[in-house]
Amino acid sequence: MDDLDVTSMMEDLRKRLKPYDDPRKRISNMPENGMGKDDILNHLSQYAESENQPWKLGKVSGAVYHGGDDLLEFLEKVYHIYSQSNPLHPDIWPSLTKMENEIVAMSSGIMNGNEAVRGSVTSGGTESILLAMKTYRDYYRSAKGISNPEIILPTSAHAAFLKACDYFCMKSVFVDLDDSFRVDVEKVKNAITPNTVAIVGSAPSFPYGVMDPIKELSEIAADQNIGMHVDACLGGFIIPWAEKLGYHTGRFDFSLPGVTSISMDTHKYGFGPKGTSVLLYRNSDLFQQQIYANGTWQGGIYFTPTMAGSRPGYPIVAAWAVMMLMGRKGYEESARKILETGKFIKNGIHNIPGIRILGDPLWVIAMASENAGAYRIMDMMGKKGWMLSGLANPPAFHIALTMRQTYPGVKEKFLEDLKASVDEAAKGGKTEAGMAPVYGMASALPEEQVRFFLKNIVEWLYSQ
């Protein structure tokens, strides 16, 4: 990629990612005198009015999983009651501990857990994954004396697992996928070594929305006496109802003896606020390894179940409130709507020449195109207002369906625009720079160069 291409790409990224980057309006120092409340609220309203439009129209993949006005108004009232709370101080806010315990209990029930299950609410799926991997590292260091721990990961596993390995000095062992984009079970067996502490399976995977063979993976874990983590961050509040609604998913929860931990995001299809996730362990022996406790600090007794010290209490309370509001019937009904929308869109894609679905997903639908080019199609969709997620190896993109796509007319508009985008891309239609060059570069350059470029992109985003 020559300098001109990079310059063009960066200019396009600036327009998309830093649209407010106007030197005349930049705030570089705290004002001497505070701004008026009305002025501040007007400022924020202007930002939100523009930024909320895409997801309200149902044109965003994932990100906002419910977004209904009634639910948002309800959560605003919850925030007003618990805005100052902090679970670091259970003596001041014991109700937070009660509600966190009840979230864990309700989530365990969904996952067919028993009274032995322990867990906590985290700040999101990434923290749940980080904590689970740290727990396996520490548990098997004590139980088996493993000092060079390895985690077996499908190549489709979430990047948070790699982040965990990087943070906690663990080796990630990748296993290829089969033709259906599920992890290859035989290759998992062959990847196990005396240093293996855990196997990971997705329910479903973020890139392709397909279920890994969790039952078979759990049998391997049980036979080898190692951990088995199920990443149900995406599916934890949909898959439990899918079988009842007539969709085949297979077992993936604590009903399988080899499954030892599960992560499930309350801030995704649990419809809670950002950021909350639930991390569950089969027993207290594992959960004990997650907890940090210090009784000799000069500042007094200090203990935390998660990575953070102070945590906002509101997300915990709001997640509890939404679960109580929805109930099992409410989640089943939302799952029905989302899965039916997924079936409609998949049937429509099958009738569009030049594009294909990867694997056999339910509602997170990945698409590729050898002729038109997946990234070109994604950019064409972007010109029509759709904000989709790009994938790599192979080049593809996906849409993670939410309640916003179940609204009248949205799924039909998606298929109409997709067909037009495929046709335009196949004919070599003009496209903006968009993300296509970024994904193309990532697939063509060595990993170290891509990592260097992306770190510089992040630094650029967080600089004035």
Give pLDDT tens digits for 219-242: 999 999 999 999 999 999 999 999
pLDDT at 1: 47
pLDDT at 134: 98
pLDDT at 368: 96
Which domains, and CATH codes, for the chain?
1-23+54-60+351-464 (3.90.1150.10), 80-323 (3.40.640.10)
pLDDT tens digit sequence for 384-398? 999 999 998 899 999
Q: Are 136 and 198 in contact (CB under 8 A)?
A: yes
pLDDT at 4: 46
Closest CA to 247 of 363, 398, 334: 363
- Determine phi and psi for 317, rounding to 5 degrees: -60, -45
Question: Which residue ranges of the chain lie beneath pLDDT 50?
Answer: 1-4, 433
pLDDT at 443: 63
- Determine phi and psi for 280, rounding to 5 degrees: -115, 140
pLDDT at 137: 98
